[in-house]
Amino acid sequence: MKVRWEDVVNLDVNKTHSRMTFTYDGGCITNSSGSGYWWWRTGTFWTRTAYSATINRIPEGWCVPTPDNTKRSRYVHNYVDGTFKNGIFCAGFDTYVYYDNVSTYAAYNGNVSGWFDSTWVDEPVGCPPLHWVASFVP
């Protein structure tokens, strides 16, 4: 799952991705891993001020961890948060962009999905408008 913020001419100013890889054995997810990706346009005074990535493996039924496969689960959820700041973008006043729970999700049958809970900008009145774009690429 990818979410990005763009300026008035549609240039990306920062973005956050939730990434996940996994295999499944026909009934359970195995070998899952998740990560986050944070990017900001260099030379434009954007900086990342906070970030996290968390993976949850949800065991259920026969899909429980075993000594041979400690990452075995029925579902896997990876979610990413992030905050970016720019103190120059709006005439020296701080502008913040927030990403909340940019998520990827995989199920035991190979189905995958992505979503995000919210993303927003906190900027002074009169600043050039920013807008967000989201996409899910399985």
More confident residue, 25 or 85: 85
Strands of the chain, DSSP E: 2-6, 12-24, 29-40, 46-58, 75-90, 93-107, 112-122, 131-135
- Residue 33: what pLDDT? 93
Give the pLDDT band of residue 42 (cuts 50, 70, 90): confident
Task: Indicate if the pLDDT at residue 15 is higher than 90.
Answer: yes
Per-residue pLDDT of 75-131, as tens digits, reads 999 999 999 999 988 888 999 999 999 999 999 988 999 999 999 999 988 898 999
Which residue is listed with tokens 């968390």?
54
- Residue 41: what pLDDT? 93
What one-letter code names the amino acid at 64?
Answer: V
